[in-house]
Structure 1
Amino acid sequence: MPMTRNPTDVALLGVTAALVLFGLLVVSSASQVLGAAQGDPSLFLKSQLWKLLPGAGLCLCLWRCSYRWLARLSKPLLLLTFLMLGLVFTQNLGAEANSARRWLSLGVFSFQPSEPAKLFIILYLAQSMTRKRDRLDSFTKGLGPPLAVLLAAIALVFLQPDLSTAALLFLTGYVVFWVAGVPTRHLLLGLLVLVPLAVLACYLEPYRWARVTSFLDPWKVASSEGYQAVQSILAIGSGRLTGVGLGASQQKLFYLPEAHTDFIFSILAEELGLIGSLTVVVLFGLLIALGIRTAMKCTDPFGRLLATGITSLFGLQAIVNIGVVTALFPTTGLPLPFVSYGGTSL
């Protein structure tokens, strides 16, 4: 049966729709030059619109249904998650780009399994921690099994290699564990083990360590490791208060790599200025606040953890993406949810 929707649900849908519209607007501009080089200036906008259709259809289906039936799908979707993450490493289906195997190629379309995996893992953790809520004082019977599943998924994502998505999964999972009521001592023990391992993983891989060190002073290595950060800062600074105008960006003319994906916020700030970029930041702030409000008002433990996980995922990813393009964080490969080009962003 369809559920009765409260004003918070309607507001969440409205904020999400506004972010998607902002995304379409900026994707149409940021990808224009790249599309023209392939024979059609609106190539990427058309592609994004086609990708929006199934996303909108799924949204309407979920809107009319109770979220509780998702709990029954948690284990099948978890198995699908590990299947997809494993197939990435196969010769026939896994696609390699920039020395990373993050894509599954299924003939007419390809996608990054780590994107739906993030949602499926949250669904599993919410369902698992709800069942174990009376055993959380015991590490082996409480946190242990779901933590093992989370770490196994993180390991497969890390091996692609995709450290930023692995870190996002870890942080989101920890938020779910904390809200579920896992004892602080168990969470701290996990952090004491895993954080040093993450630092070591960065240090042992030269390109990752170069990203970390270049972030401290990107201007010092502006022609190499700090190039993207410097070009992003130039784009944002050029926008000033009101922007240079939609479609008038200079940085999208092949100066700024990934202008329509990971660094789309830079183009938005350049063309629409501080006013446009602050509008998007406020929309994400509203999305997070409404998500937290939904979680706090939910009396069902599964629903509360599910809302917490999804809100944390989108909120953390948006914060990291905007932090990267403003040179507050080291460069990652995380797109801006609902705004960046790509079906998985929608």
Structure 2
Amino acid sequence: MLKYLIPIFNPTKSDWAPLARIIHWLTLLWLFIGLVVLFSASYPEGGDNLGNGLYYIKRQLIWAYPGLILFNVVSETSLKKLLKITPIVVLILFAAIIATNIWGVTINGAQRWLGVGTFLIQPSELIKPFLVLQGAIIFSQWHKSTIEKRIFWLVIFALILGGILMQPNLSNAALCGITLWLIALMGMIRWRDLGIVALIGISLGVISIQFNQHQLQRVMSFRDPWENISGDGYQLAQSLIAIGSGGTWGSGLGFSNQKLFYLPIQYTDFIFAVFAEEFGFVGCIALLLLIMSWATVGVLIAIQSQTTINRLIAGGAIIFMVGQSLINIAVATGAFPTTGLTFPLFSYGGNSVLASLFLAALLIRVARESNEGTLLEFPQPSQR
């Protein structure tokens, strides 16, 4: 029990497989750096608007503690047990997504949260690790499953993505859809089927952009933010100024100028810009090396997986954690249009912290089961 209540303390880690221990400490390092950067990025906003500079970091720590407990619990729970409850949890969170579209709390024009007391629950964020698990279940058994089962879960996945898209949250819907698509690809689903699904997904994305003025403006301003620096291009322009101001070594922790009410939402979507200004080019390279190290260890875990389902779970966790991080960085540097995706374990948001630590724990669990003799008894897909 002590190892759960004090998440950093876990005497059994010495018995873990080497890759499991490495990904464990890399995740904790990632979280620690993220908390330090969030404290710096959010302090002016909290102090000016809420009268408490520590407001955001305090709430993030409130979420991080149960997140670390969840991290330890999942690391110690067999995938077989987690997979048994996954279909039910996916359906519950799907219902919560639908409820969010009806009764949800609207913030900045998006209706993505359910109010629970003083906390906001974001089902579209919490569902990510369970999409990985359910996607691994379906696509690892695809060629052995009945047509009815395939159709049922494909419809559920489509409805989940549609519900997220209606919030509107095109970026999150696209990320979830791409992750499921790549899990299916790793499960060796036929290219023809994957191509049809990809075409449908791209078409829906284009339609959403055409009919959603806010999304269209984001795409248009991305081409040249300086053309309308006082309008739609303001956010990206301020982000680029922050990154450029960092120079080689940065201005130092806490000394970003752009976070002083020039750069909007600097503690969520554009937190990387604050990091780049305070830690400079060298700090950015170090952060990218950390993320790439995490990804490399994750790929090694996936390669060593002894079952298809374990490999798909590892792949899905890597795609969500690393893919979302790189997209967030690409947005802040102007390589991608503004998406609204947070930086895992950096950006403010308790739901994101819970989902990210859950995903990292799944990767640890795959590493442990692949190297400590615990195998899932799932039928292997035929090779075709």
Above 0.5 in TM-score?
Answer: yes
Report the secondary structure of 1:104's partner residue: strand
Mapped pair 1:333 → 2:340: yes
Which residue in the other structure is 2:42 paired with? Answer: 31
Which residue in the other structure is 1:122 paired with? Answer: 132
C-alpha distance in 1 between matches for 2:245 and 2:135? 43
Deviations 1:117-176 (A, max 9, x none): 1222221111122333435xxx94685443322211000000111000000011100110
C-alpha distance in 1 between matches for 2:30 and 2:224? 32
Which residue in the other structure is 2:19 paired with? Answer: 8
Deviations 1:79-123 (A, max 9, x none): 1111210221333xx211122210010113112111011222221
Question: Gaps (5+ residues) in structure 1?
Answer: none
What does 1:45-60 correspond to in 2, within 5 Å? 45-60=57-72
Report the secondary structure of 2:132's partner residue: helix
Mapped pair 1:194 → 2:233: no
Which residue in the other structure is 1:64 paired with? Answer: 76
Contact 2:142 2:189 (8 Å CA) reproduced:
no
Runs (4+) off by over 3 Å: 1-4, 139-146
Deviates more, 1:192-201 or 1:161-170: 192-201
C-alpha distance in 1 between matches for 2:278 and 2:13? 42
Which residue in the other structure is 1:101 paired with? Answer: 111
Which residue type is aligned with residue 43 of structure 2? Q
1:57 CA drift (Å): 0.4
Deviates more, 1:212-221 or 1:195-204: 195-204
Which residue in the other structure is 2:53 paired with? Answer: 41
Contact 1:143 1:182 (8 Å CA) reproduced:
no
Contact 2:126 2:352 (8 Å CA) reproduced:
no
Report the secondary structure of 1:327's partner residue: coil
Deviations 1:223-278 (A, max 9, x none): 11111110000000000111011111111111101101111110000001111121
Report the secondary structure of 2:346's partner residue: coil
Deviations 1:190-231 (A, max 9, x none): 122321231122122222111111111111111111111100
Report the secondary structure of 1:249's partner residue: coil
TM-score by length of structure 2 reads 0.85
Which residue in the other structure is 1:86 paired with? Answer: 98
- Percent sequence identity over matched residues? 33
Which residue in the other structure is 2:289 paired with? Answer: 282
- More contact order relative to length (CA 8 Å, sep ≥ 6): 2
Question: Gaps (5+ residues) in structure 2?
Answer: 1-11, 354-384
Which residue type is aligned with residue 67 of structure 1? L
Q: How many residues align?
A: 341
* Structure 1 residues 172 and 18: CA distance shift in structure 2, 3 A: same
C-alpha distance in 2 between matches for 1:3 and 1:276? 31
Report the secondary structure of 2:91's partner residue: helix
1:345 CA drift (Å): 2.5
* Structure 1 residues 293 and 184: CA distance shift in structure 2, 3 A: same
* Structure 1 residues 196 and 102: CA distance shift in structure 2, 3 A: same
Which residue in the other structure is 1:174 paired with? Answer: 181
Report the secondary structure of 2:101's partner residue: coil
Which residue in the other structure is 2:223 paired with? Answer: 216
Which residue in the other structure is 1:110 paired with? Answer: 120
Contact 1:2 1:66 (8 Å CA) reproduced:
no
Which residue type is aligned with residue 289 of structure 2? V
Which residue in the other structure is 1:151 paired with? Answer: 158
Which residue type is aligned with residue 84 of structure 2? R
